[in-house]
Structure 1
Amino acid sequence: MFYFLSKTIDVLLMPLTMAFIAFLYVLLTKNRARSRKVLIGTLTALYLVSNPILVNELLKWWEPKSLNEEKKYEVAVILTGGIIKLYHAPTKHVFFGKSGDRAVQAFELYKRGKIKKIIISGGEGSLRGSKRNNSENNGIRQFLMESGVAADDIVQDSLALNTRQNAVNTAMILKTQFNTDKCMLITSAFHLPRAEGCFRKEGIMVMPCPSHYLQEDAVIWFDKLFPSEEALASFYLVWHEMIGYVVYKVVGYI
């Protein structure tokens, strides 16, 4: 039920969905004065959430700074979610998604001797039932092994369907298989605040390791004053995380 509700809330509170509802209201209402105000308000809001300068400042505030990785950890956890776009099992061909940097960061830490074991946490669920898809989890494992990570150093948790389940399942794995409550947490920088909160709630001492940064050190030029599809996409991701953080806080997951 929580999975279904979270996905529904996520869709309804997204910028384009709200804008679509507002424009539909403008078309259907007979109150012209009110429709004009709604139209102006909606266009203003769309400009604000698609302005590269404003969105980049929001990202700089939300995304944590890159942290010191000099400490060595026995285990690192990679949270799935857009890492693998497609995994063709028969040919073992891996196509990376937008957050593929998560897997790359894990491999680099392993190669440098900063971590010894890697837990891949996350599966894919369906709103229509309990059907699960482990292709992304398997694809990440395939990439890590082909890159040089020993198969025995990889643990798969394909049962977790959300960030809270990532934390709960990881806590159990750390306790039963590694006899520890410490791990390095690898996920996208915009997702890290919610993920870190969930892991700490489950009693895990986390060393956060942000990857896949959305913010930029871009020079401000006149083109940054105009709306941008890329900025809107980045706002969508961080807005989704802010809503998720509040919901998780309310239900006690953080």
Structure 2
Amino acid sequence: MPVLFLLSKILDFVLLPTVWLLALLLAALLARQPQRKQRLLIAIAALLLLGTNPALVNELLLAWEKPPVPLASLPRHADAAVLLTGITQVAKSPHDRVYLGPGADRFTNALWLYRAGRVRYIIVSGGSGAVLAKAHTEAADLGTLLRLAGVPARAILLEERSRNTRENALFTKQVLDTRPDIKSLVLVTSAFHQRRALGCFHKVGLNPVSFPAGFRTTDRSITPDYWLVPSPAALENLSLLLHELAGWLTYKLLGYS
């Protein structure tokens, strides 16, 4: 298994704010000096206060997410939508159905593009991002859902080997090398993931039109709950943002995007 793949999984764990909170809490419990314990408790309180503030985290995500693309600005007819996976739970049993998770708008948006006649094909790109191999791939699962939704098998192309965004781009390019009839692309992935994905596709010589989906942000609000009421979802979104920022920076440093 590639070292980079394992390191990425370790980095995901290290960047979790909940891991920081646990580490600070353990340090506070083990601290012998009262002043050190007090500083650690203040750090815990500050992290909780900032990390669970919905307005602050939402503003950070709004600055990072690619904004929605007006439908009128899309090409009238593109050859294919590239649907990136990362939205199903391949480890969930029984394996007689498809379990969709957060970001399922990727799927519904790609399906909409096809059913509205905006694209002729849907390329589903993604094997499994799990450390251990799974019995089936995310691409196969989403291909099943697309067929159940009325998309004919001839209009679905599956790329089932990729385990990360760089491989999404590399292996999609290989699929397209065998299909010279497919030239124009619409890239469908989550809004927070679009920057890294576009960079990877550009790097391999593909220039898809961006079509963000699966937004984690909300519109700004002036209500007290938006500004003052702590939210566990905010902490989850902060974890997601840190993960994506680290991935984007790593890809830049490695020359993947």
TM-score scaled to structure 2, two decimals? 0.90
Displacement of 1:84 in angstroms is 5.3
In structure 2, what is the Cα distance between the partners aligned to 1:203 and 1:32?
A: 58
Displacement of 1:220 in angstroms is 2.8
Which residue of 1 is the match for residue 120 of structure 2? 116
In structure 1, what is the Cα distance between the partners aligned to 2:89 and 2:16?
A: 24
Code of the residue aligned with 1:81 in structure 2: it is G
- The secondary structure found in structure 2 opposite 1:94 is coil
Q: How do 1:71-150 and structure 2 match up within 5 A?
A: 71=75, 72-83=77-88, 90=96, 93-127=97-131, 131-150=133-152
Displacement of 1:221 in angstroms is 2.2
Structure having the larger proportion of residues in strand: 1
In structure 2, what is the Cα distance between the partners aligned to 1:227 and 1:193?
A: 29
Q: What do residues 80-99 of structure 1 show as CA deviations (whole Å, max 9, x unaligned)?
A: 11245758655xx3332221
Candidates 163, 188, 191, aligned match of 2:190: 188
Unaligned stretches of 5+ residues in structure 1: none
RMSD between aligned residues:
1.9
Q: 1:125 to 1:68 in 2, by over 3 A?
A: closer
Code of the residue aligned with 2:82 in structure 1: it is V
Unaligned stretches of 5+ residues in structure 2: none
CA contact (8 A) 1:87 1:139 kept: no
Displacement of 1:168 in angstroms is 0.6
CA contact (8 A) 2:103 2:215 kept: no
In structure 2, what is the Cα distance between the partners aligned to 1:57 and 1:244?
A: 20
Code of the residue aligned with 1:143 in structure 2: it is L
Displacement of 1:155 in angstroms is 0.8
Higher mean alpha-carbon deviation, 177-186 vs 69-78, is at: 177-186
Which residue of 2 is the match for residue 17 of structure 1? 19
Displacement of 1:67 in angstroms is 1.6
Does the alignment pair 1:226 with 2:219? no
Displacement of 1:73 in angstroms is 1.2
Percent identical among aligned pairs is 35
CA contact (8 A) 1:76 1:184 kept: yes
In structure 2, what is the Cα distance between the partners aligned to 1:21 and 1:64?
A: 33
Which residue of 1 is the match for residue 218 of structure 2? 216
